[in-house]
Structure 1
Amino acid sequence: MDKMIHYRLRCNANHEFEAWFQSSAAFEEHAECGFLSCPNCGSSNIVRAPMAPAMRSREGNQAIIEEENQSLQQQRQVLSQAVMLKQQLIGLRRKIEQNCDNVGDRFADEARKIYYGDSESRGIYGDTTPQEREELFDEGIEVGTIPWLRDDS
C-alpha cells in the first residue's frame, strides 16, 4: 500500500475538513484543477490549513525517557570504567618506573641478554619496534606492551 498524506483543508468561508492524498503534488494538482470542494458550502477555493504535529502518547514519551535514561546510565558506567582503567594504568606505570630499569631503545638487546643469561635477571622497560617485538616473540622471549599514560594530576 502506498503512503498517503493526511491534510486538514480550509475553504475561503473558513470551513475545515480533512482529506488524504498520494503526495503534496497530488493535492496541488487537485486544488488547481478545481477537483476539491468544501463539503459544507461547495466552494472550490481550498487551501491547506495548519495542522498540529502528531504527538506521542504519554506511555510513548515515558518509554523514550526510560530509554534515554538507560543510555545515559550506560554512558556513565563506561566513563567510570575508563577513568578507573586510566588510574590503574598510571599506577602500573609508577610501579614499573620505581622497580624496573629503563633501558630505552636498547630494550630488545637487554631482554635477550637477560633471557640467555648474559646479564643479571631484573625487570626492565623501554622501547621496541614492532619488528623487534616480533623477533623477541619468535625467540620465545615474553614481552608485553603497556599503554604508557602520563599522570595528568
Structure 2
Amino acid sequence: MKVLDLRCQKDHAFEGWFGGEADFQDQLQRGLLQCPLCGDAQVRKVLSAPRIQRAARDPAGGAAQESAVPVAAAPAAPAAAASLQAAWLQWARKIAAQTENVGPRFADEARRMHYGEAPERAIRGQASLAETVELLDEGIAVLPLALPDGATDTLQ
C-alpha cells in the first residue's frame, strides 16, 4: 500500500492510498481523483515523509523489533488550515447524510414542497443562479452550498 500526500490547484492538502505508483497514475489519468474539499480534479503529488522499516535492538538485549523511522519531513499545511479543512469536510458529510439528494430537480422539488404538493423534507441538489434567484423571489428559502462529490461520499 502506498500512501501519498496530494494537493489540488487550490492547495487543499489530502491523502490518497494506492496499490502502487502505477495505480496512482492510472487513477489520475482516468480522472478518478479529486479533492474532497472542492472537487478539483487537477491533483498533484507533493513531498511526503517516507518511513523506512529497520530492525532495532531491544535495550534489554532482547530480539530485534521493527520500528518505523521518519526520514524527511514534508512542509505541512498550517495546523489551523488543516483543522479548518477537516471541520469543513466533517460538516459537509453531516449535511449530505441528513438531506435527500434530488440532483438537477432541486428547483422543481423545492417549489413542490413550498406549495404543498410534496412532503417537506431537507433536500439538496443543483440549481442554476437564475433558478436560485427565482426561488428566492417566490419566497422559497434556499442556501447555496458548495458540496463537491468527494464531500458527500464515503472515502475509502
Q: TM-score range by the shorter chain?
A: 0.3 to 0.5
Q: Which has the higher contact order (CA 8 A, sep 6+)?
A: 2
> Could you say which structure has the larger radius of gyration?
1
Relative to total residues, which structure has the larger strand share, 1 or 2? 2
TM-score, length-scaled by structure 2: 0.43
Relative to total residues, which structure has the larger helix share, 1 or 2? 1
